[in-house]
C-alpha cells in the first residue's frame, strides 16, 4: 500500500547553511535506502508557505487567498510517497524523515493513499 508522508516544519525558525546541508543529506540517504528496497515512489520539498495561494469556490466564484488554507505553527514543507507492506513499516520510515534542524520541532503525518481500482488505474 502506498503511504503519503506529509512533512511539517517550522519555517520561522531559520536553519543555518550547515544545518540545511545536514537535512538535505538525511533526505538523500533516506531516498536512496527506499529506492534500494524498491518502495520509493516520490518525494519533493515545497517552497515556503508564504508562496502558497488557496483557491476556493464560493457562490460559484473563484475566491483566492494569499497563503496556506490554515494558519498553523508548523507548515507543510514536503512529502514522500512510499509503497509499504503495512502501517508499521510506513511508521518506521516516517520516523527517519528529517523534519527540521536538529532539536527543532517538526512532524510527519502518515496517510494511506486510497487506491482507486479500475481498468485505468496503474497502481493496484
Partner 1 sequence: MDELRATVESIFRRESGRIIASLIRVSRSFDLAEEAMQDAFAAALSHWSTGGMPANPSAWITAAAHRKLIDYARREQTRRNRQEQLRYETKDTVSDPQAEGDMSATWEDDRLRLIFTCCHPALNEGAQIALTLRTLGGLTTTEIAHAFLLPEQTLAQRLVRAKRKIEQARIPYVVPVKSTLPERLRSVRAVLYLIFNEGYSASSGDNLIRRELCAEAIRLTRTLCELMPAVPENEGLLGLMLLHDSRRDTRVNSKGELVTLEEQDRTLWDRAEIEEGLRLTQLALSRHNPGPYQVQAAIAAVHAESSTAAQTDWRQIAALYKELMIRQPSATVFLNHAAAVGMADGPEQGLVLLDGLSESGALDSYHLYYAARADLLRRLSRREEALIEYQRALSLTANAVERRYLRRRMNELGALHNTI
Minimum CB distance to partner 1, residue 11 (Å): 27
23 vs 110, which CB is nearer to partner 1?
110
Minimum CB distance to partner 1, residue 6 (Å): 14
How far is Cα of residue 82 from the mean position of the Cα atoms in its chain? 11
Among 43, 64, 34, smallest CA distance to 52 is for 64
- Binding-site ranges for partner 1 (CB under 8 A): 1, 85-88, 91-92, 110-112, 114
Minimum CB distance to partner 1, residue 84 (Å): 8
Burial of 89 (0-12, 13-18, 19+ CB in 10 A): middle
Amino acid at each position: 500500500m502506498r503511504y503519503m508522508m506529509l512533512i511539517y516544519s517550522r519555517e520561522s525558525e531559520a536553519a543555518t547553511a550547515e544545518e540545511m546541508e545536514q537535512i538535505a543529506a538525511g533526505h538523500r540517504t533516506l531516498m536512496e535506502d527506499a529506492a534500494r528496497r524498491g518502495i520509493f515512489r516520490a518525494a519533493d520539498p515545497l517552497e515556503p508557505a508564504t508562496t502558497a495561494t488557496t483557491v476556493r469556490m464560493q457562490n460559484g466564484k473563484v475566491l483566492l487567498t494569499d497563503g496556506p488554507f490554515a494558519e498553523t505553527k508548523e507548515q507543510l514543507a514536503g512529502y514522500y510517497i512510499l509503497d509499504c507492506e503495512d502501517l508499521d513499516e510506513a511508521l518506521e520510515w516516517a520516523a527517519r524523515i528529517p523534519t527540521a534542524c536538529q532539536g527543532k520541532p517538526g512532524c510527519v503525518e502518515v496517510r494511506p493513499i486510497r487506491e482507486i481500482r479500475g481498468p485505468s488505474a496503474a497502481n493496484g
